[in-house]
Structure 1
Amino acid sequence: MAGNFYQVRCPDCENEQVVYGKAATEVACAVCGHVLVRPTGGKAAIEGEVLETVERGA
């Protein structure tokens, strides 16, 4: 598997959303716009609280 998806909680508004662990662009919270994921050239820097790793469906 190339990368994982994570359920992340926004530190500002506590919205939960799924993000890709190797994101190539910044990912903002869908509710408040706080940046949750910043690209680093490899594994992305996740700035929210990681709640769980989301499994790929079959």
Structure 2
Amino acid sequence: MAGSFFRVACQDCENEQVVFGKAASEVNCAVCGTTIARPTGGDAEFTGSVVETVEAR
């Protein structure tokens, strides 16, 4: 399984967390609960801003 991990910043509270690039479920911010990634059947759609690629595969 190939995929990358990204550090994504929340739009509301600027909290940063690591998200898998092919997320199969909705990912919420651990601090405020805002959705930061949504599954699309392939690569996830990030609603927060991608700060960096943590691990590329």
Taking the aligned partners of 1:52 and 1:36, their CA distance within structure 2 comes to: 15
- 1:8-58 deviation line (CA, Å, top 9, x unaligned): 0000000000001100000000000000000000001011010000026xx
**TM-score, length-normalised on structure 1?**
0.91
Higher relative contact order (CA 8 A, sep 6+): 2
Could you tell me which residue of structure 2 aligns to residue 44 of structure 1?
Answer: 44
Taking the aligned partners of 1:47 and 1:20, their CA distance within structure 2 comes to: 14
**TM-score, length-normalised on structure 2?**
0.93
Alignment gaps of 5+ in structure 1 = none
1:18 lines up with 2:18 in the alignment: yes
Number of aligned residue pairs: give it: 56
- The runs of at least 4 aligned residues of structure 1 exceeding 3 Å deviation read none
Taking the aligned partners of 1:46 and 1:22, their CA distance within structure 2 comes to: 10
Taking the aligned partners of 2:33 and 2:55, their CA distance within structure 1 comes to: 26
